[in-house]
C-alpha cells in the first residue's frame, strides 16, 4: 500500500499541478493579494511572460480590478519576484459567477484519462482516514 504523500504526489502530477511553481502560489493566495471582495468575482486565469490574465464575472468588477491594477501587480511583484509580472490583462467571463475559489494555474497539457487504480486507492485512503479520526 502506498503512503498518502505518494498518492497525493501522483494525483498532482496527473492533474498537471506543480506546487513548486510560483504561479500556483499566486493562485493559492489570490484572496490575500486582491482582497476577499474582488476575489469573489475575479479569478486568476493564467500568468505567462510577465502578464497576469484575470477573468471577472461582471463589468463593474472589471472596472474595480482595473482601478486596483497597479496595487495588485505591485503585491505580486513583492511576493513572487521570480515571475517577473509587469502587466495585467482582464477579461469578462462568459456570464458565470466567479464565486469559486481561484483554481491553481496548471500547465497547458491535455488531461489524461482517469486512472481507475489511483481512484480506488484514493477512495480507500479516504475511508481509512475517516475511520481513524478520533471522536469528539
Instruction: Look up the CATH number of the domain holding residue 77.
Output: 3.30.70
By residue range, what is the domain housing residue 51? Answer: 17-108
107 pLDDT tier (thresholds 50, 70, 90): very low
1 lies in some domain: no
> What is the model's pTM?
0.57
The helix (run of H) or strand (run of E) holding residue 70 is: helix 69-79
**pLDDT of 111 higher than 50:** yes
Maximum C-alpha span of the chain: 52
23 neighbors 105 (Cβ within 8 angstroms): yes
Total number of domains in the chain: 1
135 lies in some domain: no
122 lies in some domain: no
126 lies in some domain: no
23 pLDDT tier (thresholds 50, 70, 90): confident
* Mean pLDDT, the chain, whole residue set: 78
14: how many CB neighbours lie within 10 A of its CB?
Answer: 14
43 lies in some domain: yes
8: how many CB neighbours lie within 10 A of its CB?
Answer: 14
11 lies in some domain: no
C-alpha cell at 90: 482582464
Amino acid at each position: 500500500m502506498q503512503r498518502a504523500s505518494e498518492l497525493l504526489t501522483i494525483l498532482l502530477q496527473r492533474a498537471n499541478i506543480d506546487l513548486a511553481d510560483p504561479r500556483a502560489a499566486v493562485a493559492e493566495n489570490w484572496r490575500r493579494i486582491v482582497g476577499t471582495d474582488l476575489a469573489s468575482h475575479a479569478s486568476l486565469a493564467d500568468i505567462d511572460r510577465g502578464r497576469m490574465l484575470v477573468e471577472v464575472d461582471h463589468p463593474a468588477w472589471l472596472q474595480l480590478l482595473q482601478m486596483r491594477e497597479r496595487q495588485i501587480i505591485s503585491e505580486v511583484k513583492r511576493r513572487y519576484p521570480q515571475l517577473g509580472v509587469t502587466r495585467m490583462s482582464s477579461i469578462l467571463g462568459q456570464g458565470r459567477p466567479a464565486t469559486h475559489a481561484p483554481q491553481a494555474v496548471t500547465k497547458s497539457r491535455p488531461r489524461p484519462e482517469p486512472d481507475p487504480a489511483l481512484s480506488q486507492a484514493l477512495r480507500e485512503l479516504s475511508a481509512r482516514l475517516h475511520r481513524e479520526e478520533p471522536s469528539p
